[in-house]
Each structure stands twice: as C-alpha cells, then as structure tokens.
Amino acid sequence: MIRVGVFVCWCGSNIAGTVDVGKVAEEAARIPGVVHVEQNKYTCSDPGQDSIRKAIKEHRLDRVVVAACSPRMHENTFRKCAASAGLNPYLVEMANIREHCSWVHSDMSVSTPKAVDIVRRAVAKVKRCVPLHPSTIPVEKRALVIGGGIAGIQAALDIAEAGYDVTVVEREPTIGGRMAQLDKTFPTLDCSSCILTPKMVDAASHPGIRILTYAEVEEISGYVGNFEVRVRKRARSVDEARCTACGICILKCPTSRDSEFNMGLGTRKAIYMPFPQAVPNKPTIDREICRHFTAGKCGICQKVCPSGAVDFSQEDQVLTEKFGAVVAATGATQFSVEVYGEYGYGRYPDVITGLELERLISSTGPTDGKIRRPSDGKIPKTVVFIKCVGSRDENKGYPYCSKACCMYTAKHAILLKEKIPSASAYVFYMDVRAGGKDYEEFYKRSQEMGTRYVRGRVSRIYPLDGKLIVQGEDTLLGERVEVEADLVVLAAAMVPQPDAPEMARKLGISYNQYGFFSEAHPKLRPVETNTAGVFLAGTCQGPKDIPETVAQASAAAAKVISLFAKSELSTNPNVASVDESLCSGCLWCSNVCPYKAIEEKIITERAGKETVTRTVASVNTGLCQGCGACTVACRDGAMNLLGFTNEQILAEVEALCL
C-alpha cells in the first residue's frame, strides 16, 4: 500500500509570500496515494525534520514528498531525515516550489496552481520509487601514476609521503619527461636539471614508489578503488640488477641514431641512456637499430659488459595489478611545425623549434651548451623568434594559447644575450602574455636586454646567400619587415600526445576537441575526471608551465590521498539496471556508455522445453555513474535508470499534463 506524505514548506515568506501554501496542501491531499499533508514554516529546520519523522511513524508513510526548495539544495537533508525515521532514503522526492516557482512568479493566482502541479509530479514520481541501497566497495590503496615527468614524479612523491604505495609507469627508458630536456626555467633561470634530478632520485629511492620505465599501460578495467591495470614492461635487454652503469657498452656500441632527447640534434647509440642523469641509470637496447636484433650480428656490448648484464633474450613482461586510483600525467608534445610551409621548418636546418634551442643551450646538449646553428655550426648573430606557431591559429594549428611560449621565448632571448652578448634577437609576436608571479618582470628584462619585439606575423622565410630572410609585418608600424637571420626559433605550441585519445579511452575519460583530457569541472573539479578515481596532472590536461604542473600534481595527489583515507566507498544507487527478460542483447547501450560500465553477460534460461543461452547487457554498478544515456539507446525498454525510471518519467509527464 502506497502511503505518501506531503510536507509543504513555507520557507518563511520565501514560498508562502507568493504561493498559497494552504491551497497547495489542500490540493495535495486530493492526489491519490497521499494520506498525509502538513505545512511547515521551515521544513529543513530541526522541528521541520522532526515533524517528518513523526509523521512517517504516525501515519505509516512509505513515501515522502517535500515541497520546498531545489533538490540540489536539500534533497540530501530530507533523505537523511527519512532514513533516520527508518524509511529508505530513496523514497523521498522533492517538489521545487521555491526556485522554480515562488521566486520567479509573483502572482499567486498562477504560482499556486503551478506549485500544485509540481507537487503532483513529485507524488507521481515518488509513488513509483522503490527502495534503493547503496553498496560499498573496498578500496585498493595503491595508486598508479601514468607518466614519469615532473607531474608524475610530484604526484607520486606526495602520495607516497602520505604512506600509500605508488607505481609510476613511464614509457621512455627514464623518468624526467620534458623538464629534463630544458636548460633553465623561467622566471628564475634555475637550472632545470638541478631542480629536477634530485626529485627523480627521491622518487626512485622512495620505499613507497615503484618506477616502471620503458613500460606502457595497455588496459585499464574496473572502477574507482578497484582498477585492474595491465602494464607491458618492454624488454630493456639489460638486466637492471646486474648493470653497474659503467657505460662501457655505450662507448663500444657501433650503431647510432638521432637522439630523441636532443631533439635529433645529436646522436645516441643503439644501447643508450637518454641522458647521463637518467633514472634508472641503466642503459637500454633499442632493438629497432641494434645490429644484434636487426642483423643477428654484433653483440659487442654483451662481450664488453663486465657484469654480464646485457641480456638479448629478455622478453616483455606483462604485469596485471590492482590499483585504487590513477593519476594521468602523460604530458604533452610539441606541435609539428612542418605544416607552416612558409617557415620552411624541415627544409632549412637553421629553422628550429624552442625545444631544439633548449638542447643547443643546454650544457648536456649536442653542442655542450654553445649555441651553434645546425647547418654549419656557426655562432648566430641574428636570431628571430616566432611565437604562436601552432597555437592561437585556427587555420593551421589550434585556437588555444599554449601558455608557456611567451615566457620561454623571453627566456631564450635572455639566454641568447647571456651566451652571445653581441647577438641580436627579434621576437615576432601577437600578444605577450605574462600573467604569473614575476613573469611580467622577466619579460621586461628580456626587452631591457635589447630583444626587439615585433608585433606581427611572419609571412615567409627563405634562404638567400647563407642567411634566412624573414619577411613579416610590423602591425604596429604597418610596415613590411625583413630580417636577415642566422637562426630562426619557432615557439611551437604544446599539443596533446598523439595517442592521448587512445589513453583517454583506456582510462574511460573524455578529452576535448584537441585531445587534452577533460577535467570534471573547469573551476571546481579541475583535477578530477568524470571517471571516479582517475585524476589529472600536468600538460595532459592542457598547456601549462612547470609551477602549474607541479601544483596540479600535488592537488591530484591530495585527491588520491583523500580517496585512500576511506576504507570503503559507497556507490550511487541511481544506476542503470537491466531487465534481462526484455534484453535482446544488442549491446547498443554499451556503445553510448561513457564509463564502459555495460558488459556482455551470457545467461542460461529455460525456453519451452529447451535450455538456451543468450547474451544480455549487464551493468557494472561500480562503474555506472547513472547518466541514463543507455536507457534511451535501449529500444527494448530493458534498460532502466533506477531513481529515474521510464515508468517514473512517463508518470511525471502525465502528472504535469493533467
């Protein structure tokens, strides 16, 4: 027997001022199923809640409608209240007669009937509510950090410091990421390596942190608190335990290729460490070029290794482990500037990107820190910097601002002056964005050091007589400018990793039109994703500089820590549910599920005299977030959303149209 109690709130004069509350109560009493109606001055107050509890008991209410404010305000309050009176909290429905009625209509003659309709809707819905029970799921208190750049390192350190185990998965042979490639950092001009490498070592030596380099996440299943992750640890061909990092193998290796770490400006061997401070400080054999693997010959490294660490027979290891939370810190990469045909990158060796310049400036770089132009090794006298290459350009690149380029270009100009005092620097820019602590001052400094900032775009670069002719426009002067440069540096945009969408799919999170991972809310949940238990750190979420990256990494770590502080999670019971007798098993629902929460299930049942098996959809309630997209995709009507069932919504429609 359905016995609905309706509690009409005055909300002081907030509701009663413009809605005839007495009339609403009177009409509510006539709605079939309603057995008790009362009015309260403030239903959310202690006495108000008491009266609900009392009425539930006295009138044997099994459903409650509170006609008051927005459910976004007090639904939880009244659910808890009902629960304290022994009623399942999901048998409570709110009728929003304040935000949607009393506050927006001043004429009582229209607001009162509308309030009645709203109550009628709520009653129609609540009559079709069924008790729901959140279930609890245990939390595996281990975190996975994907990406071993500064973001991943920071997040791992913070989580581990809180006492939880962390695994960092990095696909390169070393952690360190982009920051390791940088020479100095703005605006303080700290040496990048000097501040990064100690952290790398900290991470590597932390008892709570396990670092898997040369490894990739292949698959993530499960849900918050219970992710199951498959990691492929690629064969290094070097036994890390035996290797003493003496480096003799590298020395003797006969094969080399362009060094990725040096942006192709130098070479590395087939057995190599990306850079001397790599962590782990063990070489890796690049099987693509190693002659042992390509031609079955050589094997010099094995012969020269004093500790017998080189192991050609090593195989990829596949680890499957459980984690309670995941921090994605997969970073970003550099825009492919080749699409700017007018700049001639790729055709003219002296047109380089900012990151390439970093390597030319860096003392660990191919030129030992001397800025020499790639074509002929000459010291450049005139350097042109071009900003916004690939960013803020809808035609060829991306519309967004890449954020760090203004500052690193200023840094480059300063460093250029420091290294080659006689050099002159031109910066072609659209705007200078120097929002950040000490940033504007830093930019000023580069100007004061003589960098010429030209507001305008470059239309063409072409070589002529050993120089690069940079043609552009100074839009402030309205003139064509032509600079004869020795070196051109393109401030290439930060863009998502090419495989970011693939990673997003593995993580079950969304990404924006460019491929940056989407946060759950741009303001209020900037490090969470819409998949519970997956957090974001660093440039995988959008372009940012080092301080921002580190801050976000620590924030993500804090989220992980607060998740791990609970021993169990309770799940939202408003989840999708399948009526297996109706389900045809087309699994179209699983297509539209943003959370990969719908799986295929084989059931066995009697059909006439036979036993048959068939496929049905099955909802993983740990993963389901209750959006309901699947219910509309389901033609059979087999998929329903608890708390928002088809029956309920149709009843609401009907109640509103009476």
Partner 1 sequence: MNDLREQLKEAVASAFSQGRVRSFVCLERGFYPFATMPAILHSGSDADRVEIGLADAPLLAKYLLDMPKPAGIVVRSCDALGVSRLIRDRRVKREDLYIISISCPGVVDTAKIPMSMHRITALEKAGDALIVHTALGPTELPWSSVLLDRCLACVSGAASTDADVVLDDGRGKPPAPVDYSEIDEVEHMAPDERYAMWEKEFAKCIRCFACRNACPACSCRKCSLDLPEPEWLSRAVILPEQFMFHFTRAYHVAGRCVGCGECERACPVGLPLMKLNRKFTRDIETLFGVDDARIPRDVEVLGTFLPDDPEEFC
Partner 2 sequence: MGYAYYPGCSLHGTAKEYDMSSRACLDFLGIQYRELPDWSCCGASSAHSVDHTLAVSLPARNLTLAEQMNLPLMTPCAACYSRLRGAHHALRSDPGLAKKVLTVLGSEYKGRYEPLSILDVLYQYGPEAVGEKVTKKLKELRVACYYGCLLLRPPDYAKFDDPENPGKMERLVETTGASAVDWPHRTECCGASLSLSDTKLVVSLATSIVDMAVRHGAECIVTACPMCQANLDMRQRGRTKLPVYYVTELLGLAFGLEPKRLGLTTHMVNAISLLRAKQLA
Partner 3 sequence: MLHISKHNLLSLLTHASSSWQVFCPSKQGSTVNFGWFEGTVDTVAIPVNSCKGAFLPQTEELFTYRGTPETGLSLTGGFDGQKPVLIFFARPCDARALTLLDRVFLEGEYADDRYRSRRARSVVVTVGCKSPLDTCFCTAFGIGPDSKAGSDVFVYEDETSLYFEPLTEGGAGFVAAHLAYLAEGGTPVSVMEELRRAELPLAGRIWVEGMAEMLDSMFDHPVWEKMSARCRGCGACTYLCPTCYCFSVFDAPRGTHGKRYRSWDSCQFSDFMLMAGGHNPRPTRKERVRQRFMHKFNYGVKRQGDYLCVGCGRCIRACSVGLHAASALFDLKEAGR
Which residues of the chain form contacts with partner 1 (CB under 8 A)? 513, 581-588, 591-592, 615, 633, 635-637, 645-647, 650
In DSSP notation, 337-395 reads GGG-GGGTBTTBTTEEEHHHHHHHHSTTSTTTT----TTT-PPPSEEEEEEEESSS-TT
Looking at residue 523, its amino acid is: K
Phi-psi region of 484 (alpha: psi -120 to 50; beta: other; left: phi over 0): beta
Cβ atoms of 503 and 330 closer than 8 Å: yes
Report in angstroms the alpha-carbon separations of 620 from 60, 225, 254, 529, 637.
35, 14, 54, 19, 18
Residue 327 DSSP class:
E
Where are the strands (E) in 193-255, listed by range? Answer: 209-212, 215-223, 226-233
The listed partner (partner 1, partner 3, partner 2, none) that binds 585, CB under 5 to 8 Å by sort, is partner 1
CB closer to partner 3 out of 30 and 525: 30
Tokens of 203: 């991470």
CB closer to partner 1 out of 323 and 595: 595
Residue 654 in the binding site for partner 3 (CB under 8 A): yes
3-state secondary structure of 59: coil
CB closer to partner 1 out of 375 and 615: 615
The listed partner (partner 1, partner 3, partner 2, none) that binds 469, CB under 5 to 8 Å by sort, is partner 2
Among residue numbers 328 through 367, which ones bind partner 2 (CB under 8 A)?
339-342, 344, 347
The listed partner (partner 2, partner 3, partner 1, none) that binds 340, CB under 5 to 8 Å by sort, is partner 2
CB closer to partner 3 out of 478 and 608: 608
The listed partner (partner 1, partner 2, partner 3, none) that binds 655, CB under 5 to 8 Å by sort, is partner 3
Stretch binding partner 3 (CB under 8 A), from 45-53, 140-148, 236-244, 650-658: 650-658
CB closer to partner 2 out of 278 and 485: 485
Closest CA to 200 of 111, 310, 275: 275
CB closer to partner 3 out of 120 and 412: 120
Q: Which residues fall within 8 angstroms of residue 607, CB to CB, at 6 or more apart? A: none
Rounded to a whole number of angstroms, the minimum distance from the CB of residue 605 to partner 3 is: 12
Tokens of 34: 């309603």
Neighbours of 656 (CB within 10 A): 12
The listed partner (partner 1, partner 3, partner 2, none) that binds 430, CB under 5 to 8 Å by sort, is none
Buried b (16+ CB within 10 A) or exposed e, 362-396: bebbbbeeebbbbeeeeebebbbbbbbbbbbbeee
Q: How far is CA 439 from the centre of its chain?
A: 26
Stretch binding partner 3 (CB under 8 A), from 26-34, 45-53, 182-190, 497-505: 26-34
Stretch binding partner 2 (CB under 8 A), from 6-14, 193-201, 458-466, 539-547: 458-466
Neighbours of 624 (CB within 10 A): 24
CB closer to partner 3 out of 546 and 616: 616
Stretch binding partner 3 (CB under 8 A), from 29-37, 71-79, 372-380, 588-596: 29-37
State how far the Cα of 49 lies from the Cα of 55, in Å rounded to an integer: 10
CB closer to partner 3 out of 54 and 60: 60
Cis peptide before 187 (omega within 30 of 0): yes
State how far the Cα of 12 lies from the Cα of 313, in Å rounded to an integer: 79
Identify the residue among 1, 241, 295, 464 touching partner 2 (CB under 8 A): 464
Residue 394 in the binding site for partner 2 (CB under 8 A): no
Phi-psi region of 448 (alpha: psi -120 to 50; beta: other; left: phi over 0): alpha
CB closer to partner 3 out of 19 and 655: 655
Binding flags for partner 3, 31-60, as an x/- string (CB under 8 A): -xx---------------------------
Residue 608 in the binding site for partner 3 (CB under 8 A): yes
The listed partner (partner 1, partner 2, partner 3, none) that binds 562, CB under 5 to 8 Å by sort, is none
Tokens of 321: 């482990």
Inter-helix orientation angle 546-564/150-161, to 10° = 30
Footprint on this chain of partner 3 (rule: CB under 8 A): 30, 32-33, 120, 608, 654-655, 658
Footprint on this chain of partner 2 (rule: CB under 8 A): 339-342, 344, 347, 395, 460, 462, 464, 469
